[in-house]
Homo-oligomer: A and B are copies of this chain.
Amino acid sequence: MRRPSARVNAALAALDRAELRKTPQRIAVVHALVDDTSHPTAQQIFDRLRRQMPTMSFATVYNTLAALERAGVCRSLRLSHDDSARFDPMVEPHDHAVCDRCGRVLDVPRARERAEIQEFRVRAVERVYRGECQQCQSIGGS
- Cross-chain contact B132 with A117 (CB below 8 angstroms): no
Q: How many copies of this protein are present in the complex?
A: 2
- A residues with CB within 8 A of B: 76, 78-81, 85, 93, 95-102, 104, 106, 108, 114, 117, 119-137, 141
- Cross-chain contact A127 with B127 (CB below 8 angstroms): yes
18 A-B pairs with CB atoms under 8 Å apart are: A78-B78, A78-B80, A93-B124, A97-B129, A97-B131, A98-B129, A99-B133, A101-B136, A102-B136, A104-B133, A106-B133, A108-B127, A108-B129, A119-B133, A119-B134, A121-B132, A124-B131, A127-B128
* In the bound complex, CA of A138 to CA of B81 (Å): 26
Given A78-B78, A78-B80, A85-B81, do A130 and B136 touch, yes or no (CB 8 Å)? no
* Residue of B whose beta carbon sits closest to that of A136: B101
